[in-house]
A and B are shown apart, each in its own frame.
Chain A
Amino acid sequence: MAEVLITVRLAAPATLEAAMRRLGLTEDEVDAAYGLVPVDPGRNLYVLRVTEDAGRRVGDSGAGAADGGPYSDPPIEPYGPPR
């Protein structure tokens, strides 16, 4: 299933478990291997990868507890050589 990104603000010590509790996410909905990644330490802002359904549910557009999202997670490719 396609996955999306959501952001959350958490006070230190921020953990994936704390983010999941805050957002009401289950283990099946979260890419635990990706984990909880700091985006901007100064703003306590973190990102996590979740299923598309979960992203819609907890993202800010779904009136959930996330700070932002769901955001796209597009593939990226090398810019060379030109084909």
Chain B
Amino acid sequence: MRVLIQLRPSPDLVAAVADPSVPSMASDVADGLPGVVLDHSYAPVAVPRPMPASPGGDPLSLNQPLVFSMAPQDASVVVRGEIADDEVTSRIALLPAARRDVVAVYADPAIETSLTCGGDPAVGDWHDVERLLRVPDLTAEGLDGSGVPLAVVDTGINAAYVKSARGHDVTVDHERSWNPQSVSGTPGDFPVDHGTMCAFDALIAAPKASLVDVPVLLSRRQGGSTLDGLLSDAIAAYAHLREVLDAQPAESRALVVTNSWGSFSPRWDFPPGHPGNYSDNPAHPFNLIVGSLAEAGADILFAAGNCGTQCRDSRCAYPDRPIVGANSHPRALSIGGIDTAGTRVGYSSQGPGRLAARKPDVCSYTHFAGSGALGDGEPDSGTSAACPVAAGLVAAVRSRWPSTVLPPAQLRTLLRRTADDRSAVGYDHDYGYGVVDAAGIIAALRRRAAKAA
């Protein structure tokens, strides 16, 4: 978290900072603050002290006539720095005690107004995503998704539409696809909707992956227009995917599962603390089966959600910590969203997560002109698009690295470790460990292969 730290150093130092002819640096006034990474590019700023305009005024009230004193004995100095997200509370509490010159620590929120929000036009197109994911480099390494089953747990796939939009053939694995008991339909032949967008986006980095169509979100319709399902159907889907995984020979075992869905509201859940709760409870059957499938060798990715503070989806009903349940599972990757300009989209949910605090794990690309499956001119958007884009990258890796050679836990670590960090202190709750970096992944895999040779 970026912060502003107000200090009251010696009057001669305040005078130097206030004098524009004297160059001063953050380290001159705030060196050695425990747990704070100082921003040395931000020159310290002298801040005047508000004082009552008339004698006898309340020295603490700002609701009265005031004068502002820049006298060295009155003024203070502000510097900028960063505190690790998971240390913010303790650091802010301890800093004034550890250093007597620290007056206060304040948040330094982004004041940019240009964060991409729902309804905004696309930022770039899917060819930009191809370029950012270095798809030609991945292909040159043999990392194109060949032979890798990529399960799209969503509203169903329309393969003909994806083929037309991409201009290339699409493989749907009919044998491994699966419908909930209340859903009829043929794999790859469902109406064009959200799942078709996800399939298109997953194929950007893994064009030769085999799509496994799992239309769980068609399992329950309300009013004939809203797509949704029940978590119990997702449990049944995962039980099927376990069979798919177990049936594979060990030497080529791989299954990537992309999940661009979640629970928006605590309304249908037991409250946190209740033994039957889902959002915060690792013992819920769905959270158990996610852990079990990942342990068996599947790479599971969940969208972080669209409840970011800058422009949250109107359906978001959790009062805080909106990355809930399996979307925050420690054995899954939680994917936040950035646009193709590299900036986090304002609706991408921020951490901490409810099952594991360090969520999202990484960010991937969204809000680009892609499939058009959501309507003419509509971007592929939401963390719904970011998740399959990242899943495609994972599927690309799996073409040469089966889970018996590179277990899912190690692949998750590799993605976090190679991510392009967007803060000065490592992990943060906006971008997680950073933005997925295909070049870093390729380099790490080469090192790993050389070591094994």
Contact indicator A37/B381 (Cβ below 8 Å): no
Question: Complex Cα distance A78/B230, Å?
Answer: 12
Max count, chain B CB within 10 A of own CB: residue among A47, A70, A73: A73
Number of A-B contacts (CB under 8 A): 146
Contact indicator A72/B384 (Cβ below 8 Å): no
Contact indicator A74/B269 (Cβ below 8 Å): yes
Pick from B155, B216, B239, B381: contact of A81, CB below 8 A.
B381
Q: Is B360 among interface residues, defined by CB-CB distance under 8 A?
A: no
Pick from B234, B270, B315, B374: contact of A76, CB below 8 A.
B234
B283 contacts which chain A residues (CB < 8 A)?
A: 68
Question: Complex Cα distance A80/B439, Å?
Answer: 28
Question: Complex Cα distance A42/B296, Å?
Answer: 10
Q: Is A4 among interface residues, defined by CB-CB distance under 8 A?
A: yes
Q: Is B311 among interface residues, defined by CB-CB distance under 8 A?
A: yes
Proximity bits, A24-38, B CB within 8 Å = 1, else 0:
000000000111011
Contact indicator B278/A77 (Cβ below 8 Å): no
Pick from B232, B303, B382, B387: contact of A34, CB below 8 A.
B232
Q: Is B305 among interface residues, defined by CB-CB distance under 8 A?
A: yes
Residue on A nearest B237 in the bound complex, by CB: A37
Given the known interface contacts A72-B277, A78-B194, A83-B313, the answer about A5 and B232 at a Cβ–Cβ threshold of 8 Å is yes
Contact indicator A82/B313 (Cβ below 8 Å): yes
Proximity bits, A44-67, B CB within 8 Å = 1, else 0:
010101000000000111000000
Proximity bits, B209-236, A CB within 8 Å = 1, else 0:
0000000110010000011111110111
Pick from A4, A77, A80: contact of B385, CB below 8 A.
A80
A41 contacts which chain B residues (CB < 8 A)?
A: 242, 292
Contact indicator A82/B232 (Cβ below 8 Å): no
Q: Is B288 among interface residues, defined by CB-CB distance under 8 A?
A: yes
A68 contacts which chain B residues (CB < 8 A)?
A: 275, 283, 285
Contact indicator A4/B313 (Cβ below 8 Å): no
Proximity bits, B140-153, A CB within 8 Å = 1, else 0:
00000000000000
B278 contacts which chain A residues (CB < 8 A)?
A: 71-72, 74
Contact indicator B275/A75 (Cβ below 8 Å): no
A72 contacts which chain B residues (CB < 8 A)?
A: 231, 268-270, 276-278, 284
Q: Is B189 among interface residues, defined by CB-CB distance under 8 A?
A: no
Proximity bits, B257-291, A CB within 8 Å = 1, else 0:
00011111000111000011110000111001100
Residue on A nearest B293 in the bound complex, by CB: A40
Q: Is A39 among interface residues, defined by CB-CB distance under 8 A?
A: yes
Contact indicator A33/B275 (Cβ below 8 Å): no
A33 contacts which chain B residues (CB < 8 A)?
A: 181-182
Contact indicator B262/A79 (Cβ below 8 Å): yes
Given the known interface contacts A45-B288, A72-B284, the answer about A77 and B262 at a Cβ–Cβ threshold of 8 Å is yes
Residues of B in contact with A, size category: 35 or more
CB proximity of B451 to chain A, nearest CB, Å: 31
Q: Is B118 among interface residues, defined by CB-CB distance under 8 A?
A: yes
Given the known interface contacts A34-B236, A37-B235, A68-B283, the answer about A79 and B305 at a Cβ–Cβ threshold of 8 Å is yes
Q: Is B403 among interface residues, defined by CB-CB distance under 8 A?
A: no
Contact indicator A47/B285 (Cβ below 8 Å): yes
Question: Complex Cα distance A72/B381, Å?
Answer: 29
CB proximity of B245 to chain A, nearest CB, Å: 11
Given the known interface contacts A74-B231, A77-B228, the answer about A37 and B236 at a Cβ–Cβ threshold of 8 Å is yes
Contact indicator B227/A78 (Cβ below 8 Å): yes
Contact indicator A77/B315 (Cβ below 8 Å): yes
CB proximity of A6 to chain B, nearest CB, Å: 9
A81 contacts which chain B residues (CB < 8 A)?
A: 118, 374, 378-379, 381-382, 384
Given the known interface contacts A4-B276, A61-B275, the answer about A49 and B232 at a Cβ–Cβ threshold of 8 Å is yes
Contact indicator A79/B263 (Cβ below 8 Å): no
Residue on B nearest A49 in the bound complex, by CB: B232
Question: Complex Cα distance A72/B270, Å?
Answer: 6
Q: Is B203 among interface residues, defined by CB-CB distance under 8 A?
A: no
Q: Is B401 among interface residues, defined by CB-CB distance under 8 A?
A: no
Sample of 12 A–B contacts (CB below 8 Å):
A47-B285, A68-B275, A71-B277, A74-B230, A74-B231, A75-B263, A76-B234, A79-B261, A80-B194, A81-B382, A82-B118, A82-B311
